[in-house]
Amino acid sequence: MALEKMEFKTEVKQLLDLMIHSLYSHKEVFLRELISNASDAIDRAHYESLTNPDILENDTGWKIRITPDKEKGTLTVSDNGIGMTREEIIEALGTIAHSGTKEFLSLLQSKDIKDNPELIGQFGVGFYSSFMVADKVTVISRRAGKKDRIGVKWESTGDGTFTVEDVEKEGKGTDVILHLTEEGKKYLEAWEIRSIVKKYSDFISHPIVMEVEREKESELKKGEKYKVKEEETINSMKAIWLKEKSSITEEEYGEFYKHISHDPLKPAHVIHYRAEGTSEFIALLYIPQKAPINILYRDYKMGPMLYVKRVQIMEHCEELLPPYLRFVKGVVDSSDLPLNISREMLQHNREIETIKKNITKKILDTLSEMKRDNYEKYLEFYKEFGRILKEGIHYDLLRKETIADLLLFASTKVEEGQFRTFADYVKDMKEGQHSIYYITGNSREEALKSPYLEAFKKKDYEVLIFLDEIDEFLFGGLFEYKGKMLKSVVKGELDIDLEKAAEKEKSRKKYEKLLDFIRDTLKDEVKDVRLSGRLIDSPCCLVADEDGLDPQMEKILKAMGQKVPENKRILEINPDHPILKEMQGLFEEGKRDGDILEYIRLLYDQALILEGSRPKDPALFSKTITKLMVENLTRRPSERMG
């Protein structure tokens, strides 16, 4: 195919523009990025070759080669990895914005990166960082295992367009050729290259080689020296997870994290340990600071990298972690698994199961230590990942209680921004209290005003406030914590005040007929009408059946477009409220229509408003209220209510 000229995608253009005009002083990171890409390409080729030996093309000496050419002013980074086809190179280096790009550009919008060039270094800015040191970049690549040996040449000066054309290429893999700017020429010095590789890429598990000139002494003529060119490996290749913990610096852990995660931020926490005994493996796991944007979507690839005896088997081994810990990144290197393990075999492998159990426990233990010893840090973690962690309550029955102990809740007993745990709650339960009570709400403020809390306030019982939609899903079932049932304050009959039970029984008898009448009047709206044990000041409220849906939940499901079964609620009336006594008066006078019917409707409408719903007929509601106001206002002052 002939030469094609194409335009970069808008995001890529923006990124390139930024790179070219960047005042960032550590431009050397371009080499880290190119080496990282080369290493990934080799890992992919290696993995594919396990099932398709044609990929190898008789060349198994995996290598990343750096070639400085002072005469031409070029620096080339080559690999014999997987390579790219014409289509792949167009996508990868031109039309698709890559992992870091979006985050990078969004940060650019929020803070002005041009004034803070140092920020660039925090990001895995990828291939395009080449344009910080080069005014033209040529990439020649050939997909491994391709029979016709035709490769592709990609070229750009970073001006918004790039070209691609077919070319012959001897070996598989990719050469990235940087035509360095005047300022960039310093990266042609061997010592400079060596020191950058040491700093950023020492742990890369494939040899990074460079040809160096050495003086040798002649064996024939003593004292005579001559120059030879030799290939030298300039990285130690020591996999970081194999090193002693004490010998690894925070920066090294950070560099490796950047390499595997493409996350621009530093990791929030590192877990590095060696398991011995029934299962032998090393795990180096990272808890990120921020959740990647796609963590809630299906295309999110979870799971640490799996190595077997230092050979990378796959990039994301999802069998190694439960989904509720999918935010954890890292590496697991096993000594027990067979090298030829395939995806299918992973699913029922006992060794994998053992590792999964072990690292799940380790992560949960680490989180609970963090919560105990470094609460501030835990809070940061929880804000970001608490929602995902909670899924474990539902999916991991074995560790339900361990996970429950990691959860934090707003509560009627603590200020905004402070949280309580189930354990805190249970420790401070009042005498005679048997259940853990919760209320759901859109905000803490709204929940606190709820009439459903009146009786709890009076008894000084704590109520947890669930602000997260998922909470009701998770705990709405039969959840119990250390033998204490979790109960919604808006569901079921509430009898937290046992002394009042006898009194209530008396009231029930007294108002029996009136309640029957109200029940009959509202038979199309509510399932039942009864006296309430949860109200102090408010006249009435609506509650769900013990096994019914929480109204909050009903709204969420409806908003999600789900069909929600018609769920009638129970109207509870405060037996101590004067309104009931007054209505009883009217009722005893034999009134069965007019005012009394209007009052019953109003009572019900108010209850709807209090639970956060709308009256069925807002116009009628407003009309009735206005009518009552006028009646009250036109009475002589001495007769006025209130």
> Footprint of ligand ADP on this chain (CB under 6 A)?
33, 37-38, 41, 79, 81-84, 92-93, 98-100, 124, 126-128, 174, 262
DSSP string, 549-586: --HHHHHHHHHTT-------EEEEE-TTSHHHHHHHHH
* Shortest CB 156 distance to ligand ADP, Å: 13
Strand (E) positions, 400-478? 410-411, 436-440, 463-466
**Residue number closest to ligand ADP, CB atom:** 126
Considering the complex, what minimum distance in angstroms separates the CB of residue 78 from ligand ADP? 8
| Shortest spacing between CB 79 and ligand ADP, in angstroms | 5
Task: Please identify, using beta-carbon distances, which residue of 125 and 544 lies nearer to ligand ADP.
Answer: 125
Cβ proximity to ligand ADP: between 76 and 402 the closer is 76
DSSP annotation of 95 reads: I
Using CB atoms within 10 A of its CB, is residue 184 exposed (0-12), middle (13-18) or buried (19+)?
Answer: buried
Nearest to 441 by CA among 416, 422, 421, 404: 416
- Compare residues 140 and 439 and give the one whose CB is closer to ligand ADP: 140
Q: Beta strands 526-531 and 569-573: pairing type? A: parallel
For 311, list phi and psi in degrees, rounded to 5: -100, 130
CB of 256 to ligand ADP, least distance (A): 15
C-alpha 287, offset from chain centre: 11
Residue 83 C-beta-side C-alpha neighbours within 13 Å: 26
Closest to ligand ADP by CB, 172 vs 356, is: 172
Count CA atoms within 13 Å of residue 153 on its CB side: 12
Q: How far is the CB of 110 from ligand ADP (least distance, A)?
A: 21
To ligand ADP, the closest distance from the beta carbon of 34 in angstroms equals 7
SS3 152: strand
Minimum CB distance to ligand ADP, residue 319 (Å):
24
**Separation of alpha carbons 26 and 594, rounded Å:** 83
Nearer to ligand ADP by C-beta: 44 or 569? 44
The pair of three-digit structure tokens given for residue 42, joined into one six-digit string = 């080799």
- The C-alpha atoms of residue 528 and residue 588 are separated, in whole angstroms, by 22
| Tokens (6 digits) for 533 | 């044990």
Tokens (6 digits) for 43: 């890992």
- In angstroms, what is the minimal distance from the CB of 259 to ligand ADP? 10
The nearer residue to ligand ADP, 331 or 367, going by C-beta atoms, is 331
- Which CB sits closer to ligand ADP, 38 or 439? 38
Tell me how far, at minimum, the Cβ of 91 lies from ligand ADP, in Å: 8
Shortest approach of ligand ADP to residue 93 CB, angstroms? 6
- C-beta of 16 vs 553, nearer to ligand ADP: 16
Contact 32, 202 (CB under 8 A): no
Contacts of 444 (CB under 8 A, 6+ apart): 410, 416, 465, 467
8 A C-beta contact, residue 248 and residue 240: yes
Strand partners, 208: 64
Helix or strand or coil: residue 638? helix
First to last CA, the chain: 90
Which residue, 99 or 584, is less far from ligand ADP as judged by CB?
A: 99
Residue 420 DSSP symbol: B
Nearer to ligand ADP, 129 or 440 (CB): 129
Min dist CB 532 to ligand ADP, Å, is 60
- The residue (of 19 and 603) whose beta carbon lies closer to ligand ADP is 19
